[in-house]
Structure 1
């Protein structure tokens, strides 16, 4: 990409990488990006603007035309013109959605059984969404008790909230431990017990925590890695789970006792 500033080159590389993520090959992405700069151009001009050999421009451009992303101008020499960006966005988005649906339909057919870990496993998760989903799933599997440590209102998602409400309505003893007083109002009128740690009864929350049926425990905290993200460890129906549950139960009862002493 001769004749470009470093900033231009970096922007084009980012665009190329993004288009590859959306399903274009490297050559296809380079040709499409080059044509955004050139508007309408021959294979030779595209090759000069990009890092695609001229012999490879033709094939990449034909593939893009088949996808509906380029117009082929039958001139001498043949030239290419990109479709509008709104059209390209729609075409690539629809294709990505189709491929996503196809991939997961195939995976659903291939899956032999429920992939949930069996009792005794110790598992780790990374990323807020997978952890949120696992918390909601574990709460939904509760049979007798649930204790969820939610430092702030932001620690709760709609799915986790719904799972807690459903569990409590089904007879599960559900407790929410938090430092956010507003959560008491949020769950007022429900069977969920909300225990708010006051200034006179402080608690340093390292992150979110969940205990289910005194044997399944999930602990989640933000890491110091860049970018900052949440990581979690959880174990179900294992000796480690029962030990961690005993510590959580003891800490919760101790907190209740201190709260009664200061109230």
Structure 2
């Protein structure tokens, strides 16, 4: 068996055929038509197995059977087979994901799962920050000591939410950060409490409404790592603790 044929069989298996089904289907295209003996002569599929495999392929709509003696088999055209497998794959995909969606929407009793997630890498942290900010409906607090963490997407999202009527506060001890928002309507600029000391590992903090939060630190192989939670009791309690202790600001 050539490498190309092995790869083709592997591909057919990914489409839902068994190894024997793929081998018989390929063999029949090589023969144009043939008996179980003909197929067995050019494949490693035992003749006794060819009959059941051919029956399965017929059920799939991939070959036709001639009721002769001996029985002969003819494969459907390549285009017809391609369309048949594509339709079957799409139906199975739809059925699979319909079930997943149904399971996803089912309530899990009265237990509440606290979702606390970790993201690593500056770009991913930035994407998650934008996602949390963009969903804020009432208020936002964004804090960082590093101007480079106020990316264009962060700056744009804060300005858009402010324009939409969301209360937006930017907290930083750095002039460069505060100056980025000096001319943005609706954004309140604040300094951190005087008692805060400079923390060289601090990254950024994002608070959206009263139930979404992201906290990041700089350093390590990933450059920036954050934990975040949204719509959870954990997020609500952590926000209250941070605000009560003046930790919302990043010096």
| TM-score interval for Structure 1 and Structure 2 normalised by the shorter chain | 0.5 to 0.7
Distance 2:71 2:169 in 1: 70
Residue 47 of structure 1 is matched in structure 2 by 40
Is the counterpart of residue 98 in structure 1 residue 86 in structure 2?
no
Is the counterpart of residue 79 in structure 1 residue 77 in structure 2?
no
Q: Which runs of 5+ in 1 are unaligned?
A: 2-8, 126-130, 154-160, 176-189, 194-208, 224-231, 244-248, 254-263
Distance 1:47 1:146 in 2: 72
Distance 1:80 1:235 in 2: 60
CA 165–17 in structure 1, closer or farther in 2 if over 3 Å, else same: farther
Residue 196 of structure 1 is matched in structure 2 by none
- What TM-score results when the alignment is normalised by the length of structure 1? 0.51
Distance 1:93 1:29 in 2: 15
Distance 1:210 1:25 in 2: 52
Distance 2:77 2:27 in 1: 14
Which of 151, 166, 170 in structure 2 is aligned with 1:171?
A: 166
Which of 25, 31, 49 in structure 2 is aligned with 1:38?
A: 31
CA 46–106 in structure 1, closer or farther in 2 if over 3 Å, else same: same
Q: CA deviation at 1:86?
A: 1.5
CA 87–174 in structure 1, closer or farther in 2 if over 3 Å, else same: farther
CA 235–49 in structure 1, closer or farther in 2 if over 3 Å, else same: farther
- Provide the alpha-carbon RMSD of the alignment: 5.0
CA 107–83 in structure 1, closer or farther in 2 if over 3 Å, else same: same
Q: Which has the larger radius of gyration?
A: 2
- What TM-score results when the alignment is normalised by the length of structure 2? 0.53
Is the contact between residue 133 and residue 140 of structure 2 (CA under 8 Å) also seen in structure 1? Answer: no
Is the contact between residue 136 and residue 161 of structure 2 (CA under 8 Å) also seen in structure 1? Answer: no
Give the secondary-structure state (helix, strand or coil) at the position aligned to 2:97: helix
Give the secondary-structure state (helix, strand or coil) at the position aligned to 2:64: strand
Higher-RCO chain (CA-CA 8 Å, sequence separation at least 6) = 2
Q: Which runs of 5+ in 2 are unaligned?
A: 143-147, 171-183, 188-203, 230-234, 243-248
Q: CA deviation at 1:172?
A: 7.0
CA 26–174 in structure 1, closer or farther in 2 if over 3 Å, else same: farther
Distance 1:118 1:215 in 2: 16
Is the counterpart of residue 122 in structure 1 residue 117 in structure 2?
yes
